[in-house]
Structure 1
Amino acid sequence: MENMKREESAITLEEIKSKNGDNDEAAIENRVATYHFGLKRYRAQENGDCGYDAAVLPKWFNEEMFERAKILARKHFMALMFTHLCGLYLLVFMKPIFNVLASTGQSKNISCLFRRYFRTLKHVKIWYEGNVWDFHDDASKSIAMVRAMHKQVAHKCNKNNSREEVFISQRDMVYTQFAFIGLLILYPRRFGFTLNEYDLKCIVHFWACIGYLLGIDDKCNLFASENLLEIRSICDRILDDMKCYASEEQSEEMKRMADGIIIGVNTFVPCLQRVSKLSLSLND
């Protein structure tokens, strides 16, 4: 029954998009503004895992695009890993997410940061190479492990939380989605990508599926649309959100964690020492 409701919701969203016209600038701007307002105002109060069943394919799943993304990931592997790390570096300066990272004890020193981000990239590599839809495949097991870890940390952090905002919320999950490929969407050439529009859509679709499997609700999923103009506009607003957090709420602990990421991960990604400079240059 839950799956049936979810499919109805997805169809309704597509009908709305169809009526508005996907390439109509006014319609796009209206959808972007509505999405962004909801993300900031309401999604921080919603649990980051909406409970979707990983055994059920999303209504909008496109196998051809998904498999094409995996081919592209093999071809552009190092560039993608670098892009992921740049975005994850920016996440440190977002207070709600920093608080969760700090609470786990897995970011307290350079050695811990090395292990945390090495594991993260190892998971992502498995997702690109395996079959996340096959429960017997390592990629599916990896997704399930990450999802379970999110639930465990969220339960621990929210146990004595009296605020309206929850730890590891739908908003936080969307910001994390952005961290992985949002910068690629906004600045493809800066990260060494010369992808055509279809190929970029395929990578976007892949990460929409990863978001779904990690429990991001369709109404929140940053990449569930195939309209790149709309996605770019939302990503641009999210990057502005990140800049605001970084300029207003930086702490010494955040700076130490960010520096620790550069030092720790630089041992297996030597070019990472340029991440902080590149990330800051995006303000230009």
Structure 2
Amino acid sequence: MSEERLKQLRLGSAKEITVFPDLSDLSDIDIKRFNNGRRYFQDNIAMCVLAMLGSLVAGFSVVNLLDPLVFTNKSNTSKKSLKRYLDTVRHVTLWHYDDILNPNSSARKSLKKVYDMHSHVNKSMVKEGINGRHFTQYDMSLVQSGFVGFIIMFPRKIGLEDSKTNLEDFVYFWRWIGFFLGIDDENNICINGYEDASDISKQIMNEIVYPSLRNPPKDFDLMARAFTDGLSLVVNFTLFTPESLIGFMLDLADKKRIYKVSFLDECRILFWKVTVLLVRRSSWFKGIANGLVQSLTVQKNFVF
């Protein structure tokens, strides 16, 4: 099933993202499930963000995702990278904490902003004569998998509560995020529920991301290093390196490590594994971790 779905997703490489929708009729949306899905993120924000950051750095190895980031020249240094990806996380957080179904909400305006940025970069790359299509339906399928994939594939391993109901509703919420970002039903990996989304995310990991990590494009190291160095600016010490963050994620996914890891990076990996264990075992520690991440990402005056 997942193999056929991946073939279907790849057909989307010839299709542009759809026009930003004007959703006025909410009768098709199960509001209870929708709200429970975003509540799942709120209750687990620290580990959800960690999973998304790990997926992001691994995603730099996929050339059609990396090329637009290199083109914009907004994340090739640690300071620029920190601003770009802190803003990215703040956008994603806003979608879960505010109401994207309200057309006048900050969350809906944020989705439109992100949609417009994707469209602008695509048009600019075409204007500059860069070959190929960018931000296609297929590309957006990979992006969507990057945000939800690790969370739904390995919830307990990343320190999350793994109730099937909550995971189903989280995927349901992201079905509608995909809708607003211009992903059609054929390429929306969340359209058929949790199990299908998990299966296709595993297929993407095994057939696209993991092989790409073994043979990354030329700008991968520059962008990955800028990303982890940028994250370290938040705490004024080297919290992440590409090797430690990718090694940590591969260990949790039971995949063989690709890079040699230094002693310090082994310590960093151990630190994150202990953090995951504490979050899973201690509601007090989980509250502290969630509070720290909320203080950085949940912004009342987030200007975009």
CA contact (8 A) 1:87 1:181 kept: no
1:122 paired with 2:63, answer no
Match of 2:7 among 37, 62, 67: 37
Match of 1:140 among 96, 101, 108: 108
Match of 1:92 among 52, 57, 60: 60
> What's the CA shift for 1:154?
0.8
Query: What SS is found at the alignment partner of 2:75?
Result: coil
> What's the CA shift for 1:58?
7.5
> What's the CA shift for 1:191?
0.9
> Which residues of structure 1 form unaligned runs of 5+?
1-28
Provide the residue aligned with 1:192 in structure 2: 159
Provide the residue aligned with 1:113 in structure 2: 81
Q: What amino acid is aligned across from residue 179 of structure 2 in structure 1? A: Y
Provide the residue aligned with 2:195 in structure 1: 229
CA contact (8 A) 1:52 1:213 kept: yes
- CA distance, structure 1, for counterparts of residue 202 and residue 25 of structure 2: 29
How big is each residue's C-alpha offset from its partner over 1:213-255, in whole Å with a ceiling of 9 and x where there is no partner?
Answer: 01000111000112x332222111100111122223342x211
- CA distance, structure 2, for counterparts of residue 112 and residue 203 of structure 1: 31
How big is each residue's C-alpha offset from its partner over 1:30-80, in whole Å with a ceiling of 9 and x where there is no partner?
Answer: xx332211222x211111x21252324577532111101222222111111
How big is each residue's C-alpha offset from its partner over 1:69-92, in whole Å with a ceiling of 9 and x where there is no partner?
Answer: 222222111111111111111111
Provide the residue aligned with 1:20 in structure 2: none
> What's the CA shift for 1:271?
5.5
**Equivalent runs, 1:239-254 vs 2, <5 Å:** 239-240=205-206, 241-251=208-218, 253-254=219-220
> What's the CA shift for 1:197?
0.3
Structure 1 37/104 Cα, relative in aligned 2: closer, same or farther at 3 Å? same
How big is each residue's C-alpha offset from its partner over 1:94-125, in whole Å with a ceiling of 9 and x where there is no partner?
Answer: 01111110000101211110111010011111
- CA distance, structure 2, for counterparts of residue 78 and residue 243 of structure 1: 25
> What's the CA shift for 1:168?
1.0
Q: What amino acid is aligned across from residue 199 of structure 1 in structure 2? A: N
CA contact (8 A) 2:61 2:212 kept: yes
Provide the residue aligned with 1:17 in structure 2: none
1:203 paired with 2:170, answer yes
TM-score by length of 2: 0.76
> Which residues of structure 2 form unaligned runs of 5+?
257-304
- CA distance, structure 2, for counterparts of residue 201 and residue 38 of structure 1: 22
Match of 1:276 among 246, 260, 285: 246
Provide the residue aligned with 1:73 in structure 2: 41
- CA distance, structure 1, for counterparts of residue 192 and residue 116 of structure 2: 26
Structure 1 265/162 Cα, relative in aligned 2: closer, same or farther at 3 Å? closer
Match of 1:173 among 117, 120, 140: 140
**Which shows bigger deviation, 266-275 or 103-112?**
266-275
Structure 1 59/231 Cα, relative in aligned 2: closer, same or farther at 3 Å? farther
**Which shows bigger deviation, 60-69 or 81-90?**
60-69
**Which shows bigger deviation, 192-201 or 242-251?**
242-251
Provide the residue aligned with 1:23 in structure 2: none
- CA distance, structure 1, for counterparts of residue 105 and residue 224 of structure 2: 33
1:257 paired with 2:226, answer no
TM-score by length of 1: 0.81
1:217 paired with 2:187, answer no
Q: What amino acid is aligned across from residue 91 of structure 1 in structure 2? A: G
